[in-house]
């Protein structure tokens, strides 16, 4: 694991590298990594980086703050396989009033790009309300603003399928709700059941926006729409409230 050389003053492009290896349980029947694992790595590396900058979980607990992913884009270029080593680099590439954007790149030991993940993180207080990013963060890096990740609200036509999926106990993270990475598994499962996409292909792009948390044991209703470029999915809870929206496109 490595990062930028430490010195006084703002860091122009703070980043850190974290080494991972594709485990047996992280690969599918074709031997390639599940795309959800790539997003999980991006989240984990972000916390490793934050800690290296002096903002560990104890710091957030003292200030009553935490980061939640509000949007994610996962571009699978060439999915690694079981046993492969992967170098995951994460860096801050943008700030808004209550959002921070990270770019995470997954590379082979030979420096070939395997995946790119963009995550828009919202800083929230103990009640889950967005709060302005403290000046402490602004002094670390001077980066431009950005347009948040978005997904269309619905497909071009009526849904071609509605799939019911349960939020499993193993999907629930320490915050008490389904982890953001689990939603990629929901996308893959819903598309598989609807017979829309070959989710095992190597090159593809997922986009997701998260509206509200889903608790363990919740049954999600996933509407699947065809799109010219791929598929669009709308995920709702048992009361009909929108939980998330997602798209999967071919590259």
Strand stretches in 43-108, DSSP E: 65-76, 85-95, 99-107
Which pLDDT tens digit goes with each residue over 58-81? 999 999 999 999 999 999 999 999
The pLDDT tens digits of the residues spanning 190-235 come to 999 988 766 556 689 999 999 999 999 999 999 999 887 789 999 9
Tens digit of pLDDT for each residue in 77-116? 999 999 999 999 999 888 888 899 999 999 999 999 999 9
Query: What are 110's two structure tokens?
Result: 């030979």
Query: What does pTM read for this prediction?
Result: 0.90
What are the C-alpha distances in Å from 106 to residues 36, 45, 66, 96, 230?
A: 13, 11, 25, 25, 24
Structure tokens at 51: 């800690």
Q: What pLDDT score does 86 carry?
A: 98
Q: How confident is the model at residue 4 (pLDDT cuts 50, 70, 90)?
A: very low
Taking the C-alpha atoms of residue 189 and residue 156, their distance in angstroms, rounded to an integer, is 21
Cα 136 off chain centre by: 24
- H helices of 12-169, in order, are 35-52, 57-63, 135-138
Q: How far apart are CA 138 and CA 211, in angstroms?
A: 26
Angle at 101 between CA 180 and CA 27, to 5 degrees: 40
């Amino acid at each position: 694991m490595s990062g930028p050389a430490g010195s006084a003053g703002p860091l122009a492009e703070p980043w850190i590298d974290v080494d991972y290896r594709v485990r047996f349980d992280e690969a599918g029947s074709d031997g390639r990594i599940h795309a959800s694992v790539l997003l999980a790595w991006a989240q984990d590396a972000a916390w490793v980086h934050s800690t290296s900058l002096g903002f560990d979980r104890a710091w957030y607990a003292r200030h009553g703050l935490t980061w939640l992913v509000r949007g994610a884009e996962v571009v699978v270029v060439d999915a690694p396989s079981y046993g492969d080593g992967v170098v995951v680099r994460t860096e801050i590439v943008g700030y808004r009033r209550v959002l921070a954007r990270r770019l995470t790149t997954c590379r082979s030991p030979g420096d070939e790009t395997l995946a790119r993940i963009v995550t828009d993180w919202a800083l929230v207080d103990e009640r889950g309300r967005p709060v302005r990013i403290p000046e402490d963060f602004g002094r670390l890096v001077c980066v431009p603003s950005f347009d948040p990740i978005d997904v269309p609200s619905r497909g071009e036509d009526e849904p071609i399928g509605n799939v019911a999926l349960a939020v499993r106990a193993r999907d629930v993270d320490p915050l008490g709700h389904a982890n953001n990475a689990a939603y990629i598994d929901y996308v893959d499962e819903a598309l598989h059941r609807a017979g829309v996409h070959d989710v095992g292909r190597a090159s593809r792009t997922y986009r997701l926006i998260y509206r509200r948390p889903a608790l363990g044991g919740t049954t999600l209703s996933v509407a699947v729409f065809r799109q010219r470029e791929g598929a669009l999915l709308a995920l709702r809870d048992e009361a009909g409230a929108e939980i998330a929206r997602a798209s999967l496109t071919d590259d």
